[in-house]
């Protein structure tokens, strides 16, 4: 594994520029027909039973660009000024991923596995705070169906974490090629570096297995900002706020009395964040992992936001309920058997939390 900023050392620039140009043309032709497949899972532990919910209220569509492998020598002279791009993260519409690419914080993997004529390449990884973001390039010998792939299991040093959520999104570039980004958010403490195991699943039962060492980026600044409040029986506690070159993270824990997850609200908590000048900080990810503890439902989550500008000195954070309007779910019993379950739209009303301020720098 090597750092992203080393990735072009051995590659001819003219070949790469030409491939990029061809890829851009192809992507533009496909953009109106692209299908996006994004799932967002909240893992809920109910005794020995686990439930995965896919909600649709806060999903972010990831705009990706991956170049074609086609090369035409005739184009070389006309493309001499075309900047070299091609990283999945570098072409994303998420500021944190673009900045990570530009600053060389991304680890390039380049591991490929082919199953039934479908090649999946684990292209690049970013590990910041407790968030792991993975970029894939997918190419098939035959036309791929829409929504063909789904993110599978992952492990940390060979073990599944107790609490984790995430999202997976695809963008079609052609009938046989697409890109994907998977986000993994772990709600428990994470090691600085570890071996990441990953399994991607196909619609016809195929599985692609990957394993790679990853390391957390440096210069993550943790902010001391103890805060808790209870509104309408729902207790919210901010457990950590951290800032890095790739984004702002807000970790929380919630609890409320009850045993019915369909009526629980702790997993729906999100945050409106604005700086001292009233500029909104865009949020991107963060499901919630919940469990039943005696007569209370306890949720943990880590919300991720855009990187902060250098002139940001203070943030105003307002918690709120982001109530989902649609979704799908999977129930997993103690034997690991999955069962599709109907998502029930909750009859939950918004509640009003108090805002609080956090000093980023003096």
Instruction: Yes or no: say if 35 and 145 are a contact pair by the CB < 8 Å rule.
Output: no
For CATH 2.60.40.1640, list the domain ranges present in the chain: 221-325+347-359
Percent over 70 (pLDDT), the chain: 70
CATH 2.60.40.1640 fits 221-325+347-359, yes or no: yes
Tell the CATH topology of 34-215: Immunoglobulin-like (2.60.40)
Instruction: Give residue-wise pLDDT tens across range 19-39.
Output: 444 444 444 444 333 333 333
Q: What predicted TM-score, i.e. pTM, was given to this entire model?
A: 0.71
Which residues, at least 6 apart from 168, have a Cβ–Cβ distance to it below 8 Å? Answer: 37, 38, 39, 149, 150, 151, 180, 181, 182, 183
Indicate the SS3 state at residue 13. helix
Instruction: Give residue-wise pLDDT tens across range 67-99.
Output: 323 333 332 332 222 233 358 888 888 888 999
And the tokens for 98?
């673009």
Geometric angle at alpha carbon 288, from 283 and 292, rounded to 5° = 160
For CATH 2.60.40.1630, list the domain ranges present in the chain: 34-215
Instruction: Give residue-wise pLDDT tens across range 279-323.
Output: 999 998 677 888 899 899 999 999 999 999 999 999 999 999 998
């Amino acid at each position: 594994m090597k750092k992203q900023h080393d990735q072009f050392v051995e590659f001819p620039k003219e070949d790469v520029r030409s491939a990029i140009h061809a890829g851009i043309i192809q992507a533009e032709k496909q953009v109106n027909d692209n299908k996006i497949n994004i799932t967002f899972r909240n893992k809920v532990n109910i005794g020995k039973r686990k439930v995965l919910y896919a909600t649709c209220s806060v999903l972010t569509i990831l705009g990706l660009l991956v170049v074609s492998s086609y090369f035409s020598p005739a184009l070389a002279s006309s493309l001499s000024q075309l900047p070299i791009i091609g990283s999945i993260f570098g072409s994303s519409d998420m500021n944190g991923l673009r900045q990570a690419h530009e600053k060389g914080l991304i680890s390039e993997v380049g591991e490929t596995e082919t199953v039934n004529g479908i090649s999946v390449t684990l292209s690049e990884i970013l590990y910041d705070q407790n968030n792991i973001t993975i970029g894939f390039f997918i190419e098939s010998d035959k036309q791929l169906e829409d929504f063909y792939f789904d993110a599978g299991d992952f492990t940390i040093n060979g073990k599944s974490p107790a609490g984790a959520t995430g999202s997976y999104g695809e963008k079609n570039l052609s009938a046989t090629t697409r890109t994907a980004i998977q986000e993994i958010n772990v709600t428990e403490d994470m090691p600085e570096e570890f071996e990441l195991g990953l399994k991607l699943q196909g619609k016809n039962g195929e599985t692609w297995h990957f394993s790679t060492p990853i390391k957390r980026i440096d210069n993550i600044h943790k902010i001391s900002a103890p805060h808790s409040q209870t509104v309408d029986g729902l207790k919210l506690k901010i457990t950590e706020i951290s800032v890095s070159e790739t984004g702002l993270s807000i970790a929380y824990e919630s609890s409320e009395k009850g045993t019915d997850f369909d009526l629980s609200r702790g997993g729906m908590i999100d945050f409106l964040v604005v700086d001292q000048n009233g500029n909104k900080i865009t949020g991107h990810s963060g499901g919630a992992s919940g469990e039943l503890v005696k007569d209370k439902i306890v949720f943990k989550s880590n919300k991720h936001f855009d990187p902060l500008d250098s002139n940001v000195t203070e943030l105003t954070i307002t918690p709120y309920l982001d109530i989902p309007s649609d979704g799908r779910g999977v129930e997993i019993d103690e034997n690991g058997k999955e069962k599709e379950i109907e998502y029930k739209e909750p009859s939950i009303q918004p509640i009003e939390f108090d805002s609080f301020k956090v000093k980023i720098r003096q």
